Structure 1
Amino acid sequence: MRTLRLRFSQNRLHTTLQAGFRTGKYMPASSDDSSVDTHGVTTWEPRTLGDRLSVSLHETLASNWRVVVVALAALVLLGQFFVAFGLFATDPFLAVFSAVSVIPALLLVWYIRRQDVDPEPVGTLAVTFVLGGLLASFAALVNTAAGTVFRQIPFIGSILLFFLIVGPGEELVKWLAIRLYAYDRSEFDAVVDGAMYGAAAGLGFASIENVIYITQNALTAIQNEGPVLAATVPTTVARSLAGPGHVLYSAFAGYYLGLAKFNEEHYGPLVVKGIAVAALLHATYNSLSTVLPQVLPMSGLTTFAFIVLWDGALTVVLIRKLRQYRDVVDEHGTASARPQAASTDD
């Protein structure tokens, strides 16, 4: 009997509380009740110096986040290039080698630009190129830190690094180089413009990456008292072959960003798809370049042939997309057909 009374009392209390919450009887005091200070409990407003500084900082970051990102990237890059600048001063040929290593990627960008119905202005492409180079500093930091961890994993450590860190990270920062500036410009008025700006971002990224690799090899040779020229020539050749890949991967990501811009209802999925496609291609290439020489007898000629075939196949796919767009515009004869130039089924 006592147990039944206790259960009855609990049920009655529960019912009473529910009714009280529904009617507002047991709700906390509102901010309109001057007798109760709810600041920091259920309400908030800037009162102290720290509060006002927080508001000012938030407003500054919200309105100038692009400037903040670029400034941070520039500072990181300056720190990474501190040694490189010194090497360029003492050995100017390193700067020449760095410039030469970018020529194949630059030619590919030129070829892609020729496919555009309405070529993008050089100024906007140049800004995107610079942003791609600046943001490469973030990827370099992450890759270096993650590499020390993943390479401790036997057999598959490098492959995991490529698919989980290097591919997604590098393609994300190149995508960001487009999004920071070119995306909001009036010149970005067609789906395929994204591919062009992606190519420019990839060229900027490849330029900085080539400088880092070439100067690092030169510095190692100097520290080991070896011939600097003999150390940098093979690196220059290798980097010149790697550069076009950066252009192609980010061109694909940029293409899907352009598709997303003119299909706003599918913006998020298209952006994710573009970065994922670029990252997958990037990581697959890196993995094959690492694994194939370990399992097959690869000479310099076969390595060159592999890279040409890989980049050539991707170039064919990309150019096919751009020409499909051009055919649609030619058929309709107006720029208004641009947003319908590509399908999300691609």
Structure 2
Amino acid sequence: MDERRDPVERAAGNSMDLYDIATWEERTSVDGLAVALYRLLVASSKAIVIGLALIILIGIGGLSAITDPQIGALTLLSALPALGLAAYVYTTDVTENEPISLMVVTFLLGVLTATFAAIANSLLSNAGQVIASEFNLALGFVGSVIFFYLVVGPVEETVKLLAVRLYAYSNSKFNAVVDGAVYGAMAGLGFATIENALYITRNLAESGLDLGVASAPAIIGAGGTITAVRALAGPGHVIYSAIAGYYLGLAKFNRENFGPIVVKGLILAALVHATYNSTVGIGSGIIASVTGIGGVGAFLLYVIIYDGIFGLYLIRKIQRYSNAYHEAHDQGPSAAAFGPEQTEFED
């Protein structure tokens, strides 16, 4: 685009060699060194982020789902609904199937980056109550709502999007807007899986059960309720991050508005996420009082209604892309002929 070119370059066109004057490309050995160092810095920064996340994961006991087969089994069961939803999003990609290897890496990065949210949520756990007290608002519920909207929603959706940005985003297979939703869903699945593992581990520890000597049936029996609850919470993470991921894909192909588009996706995902956290208790209570269904049943019904509404929003967004894809291919050249624009952060 002309507005992104220097005035000298615009005026000269291709008639002058403007290397190191108004344009640049790799020519000399110093140029090559600069390119190599830049790529090393980018790769190193990603490695540092991943390494730090792994250290935190080990520190907070997140590896229990791997080291303890009983907890691992409960975690796997709790992740099945989220896995099913992520698989469905995967099948809605009208362009081409994403490589399984990229999906697995994104899932694992979703597990790792979740640790940043765990630390942030812990450090800022009293933020809502502090803000509520400063404005003379009622503590308790109001403080929790503020915490959900200002901390939990934004932080958790950002770290899930980071899982996509660290690897899949810069891969050549991420070559369509809708791919963002697919990888976002996988990041959400990874986040939900490790979150479930931590909740299940903590719940079993609080039950007083000695995991070292308890039998498998005893562990599964003690963890059955929390496993069911976490199974219902998991699909929400997939929906929220798939929404944010879709906008990350949209931003990749609209570089001039990259920042605002990504922020829009995060705002939508964080709002839906925080609203769920803020209303699930009240909503379940209303359902219980109206229908007479109590406990997990009322919670299940509320989750189905809430996730159904925003799951439908996600599906309709993907369907609109699918319809546009088919319409464009019926009228013009294949979209495969046009590759994604390379960014300054891509290898």
Instruction: State whether TM-score is above 0.5.
Output: yes
Closer/same/farther in 2, CA of residues 326 and 339 from structure 1, 3 Å limit: farther
- 1:252 and 1:274 in contact (8 A); partners too: yes
* Corresponding residue of 1:70: 50
- For residues 142 and 244 of structure 2, what CA distance do their matches in structure 1 show? 27
Within 5 Å, which residues of 2 pair with 1:150-169?
A: 150=128, 153-169=139-155
- 1:94 and 1:214 in contact (8 A); partners too: yes
1:93 matches 2:95: no
Aligned-pair distance for 1:229? 4.3
Q: 1:221 aligns with which of 198, 201, 207?
A: 207
Q: 1:130 aligns with which of 100, 108, 122?
A: 108
- For residues 248 and 104 of structure 2, what CA distance do their matches in structure 1 show? 19
Q: 1:290 aligns with which of 264, 267, 281?
A: 281
One-letter amino acid matched to 2:46: R
* Corresponding residue of 2:267: 276
Aligned-pair distance for 1:148? 4.4
- 1:203 and 1:243 in contact (8 A); partners too: yes
* Corresponding residue of 1:252: 243
Aligned-pair distance for 1:328? 1.7
1:79 matches 2:59: yes
Aligned-pair distance for 1:222? 2.0
Aligned-pair distance for 1:230? 4.6
- For residues 337 and 191 of structure 1, what CA distance do their matches in structure 2 show? 15
Closer/same/farther in 2, CA of residues 281 and 275 from structure 1, 3 Å limit: same
* Corresponding residue of 2:18: none
- Once the two structures are overlaid, the 10-residue window that deviates more, 109-118 or 290-299, is 290-299
Within 5 Å, which residues of 2 pair with 1:1-346?
A: 61-81=41-61, 84=64, 88-89=67-68, 92-117=69-94, 118-150=96-128, 153-222=139-208, 228-293=219-284, 297=288, 299=294, 300-333=296-329, 334-335=334-335
Aligned-pair distance for 1:136? 0.6
- For residues 186 and 263 of structure 2, what CA distance do their matches in structure 1 show? 20
- For residues 201 and 42 of structure 2, what CA distance do their matches in structure 1 show? 37
Closer/same/farther in 2, CA of residues 278 and 232 from structure 1, 3 Å limit: same
- 2:62 and 2:197 in contact (8 A); partners too: no
- 2:57 and 2:63 in contact (8 A); partners too: no
- For residues 338 and 252 of structure 1, what CA distance do their matches in structure 2 show? 24
- 1:221 and 1:228 in contact (8 A); partners too: no
- Once the two structures are overlaid, the 10-residue window that deviates more, 312-321 or 231-240, is 312-321
In the alignment, structure 1 segments of 5+ residues that lack a partner are 1-56, 341-346
- 1:74 and 1:134 in contact (8 A); partners too: yes
- 1:252 and 1:278 in contact (8 A); partners too: yes
- Give aligned-pair identity as a percent: 43
Aligned-pair distance for 1:84? 2.8
- Alignment: residue pair count: 281
User: Does the residue aligned with 2:242 lie in a helix, a strand or coil?
Assistant: helix
Closer/same/farther in 2, CA of residues 335 and 60 from structure 1, 3 Å limit: closer
- 2:184 and 2:242 in contact (8 A); partners too: yes
Q: RMSD of the TM alignment (CA)?
A: 2.8
- For residues 338 and 321 of structure 1, what CA distance do their matches in structure 2 show? 22
Aligned-pair distance for 1:303? 1.9
User: Does the residue aligned with 1:101 lie in a helix, a strand or coil?
Assistant: helix
* Corresponding residue of 1:7: none
- For residues 82 and 262 of structure 1, what CA distance do their matches in structure 2 show? 36
One-letter amino acid matched to 1:308: I
- 1:151 and 1:157 in contact (8 A); partners too: yes
- For residues 331 and 183 of structure 1, what CA distance do their matches in structure 2 show? 26
Closer/same/farther in 2, CA of residues 224 and 150 from structure 1, 3 Å limit: farther
TM-score by length of structure 1 reads: 0.74
Aligned-pair distance for 1:63? 4.8
User: Does the residue aligned with 1:147 lie in a helix, a strand or coil?
Assistant: coil
Per-residue CA deviations over 1:26-52 (Å, capped at 9, x if unaligned) read xxxxxxxxxxxxxxxxxxxxxxxxxxx
- 1:222 and 1:228 in contact (8 A); partners too: no
Closer/same/farther in 2, CA of residues 326 and 163 from structure 1, 3 Å limit: same
- Once the two structures are overlaid, the 10-residue window that deviates more, 331-340 or 134-143, is 331-340
Closer/same/farther in 2, CA of residues 183 and 297 from structure 1, 3 Å limit: same
Aligned-pair distance for 1:275? 0.6
Aligned-pair distance for 1:339? 9.5
- Rg (Cα) greater in structure: 1
Aligned-pair distance for 1:85? 6.3
TM-score by length of structure 2 reads: 0.74
Aligned-pair distance for 1:212? 0.2
- 2:109 and 2:190 in contact (8 A); partners too: yes
- 2:204 and 2:219 in contact (8 A); partners too: yes
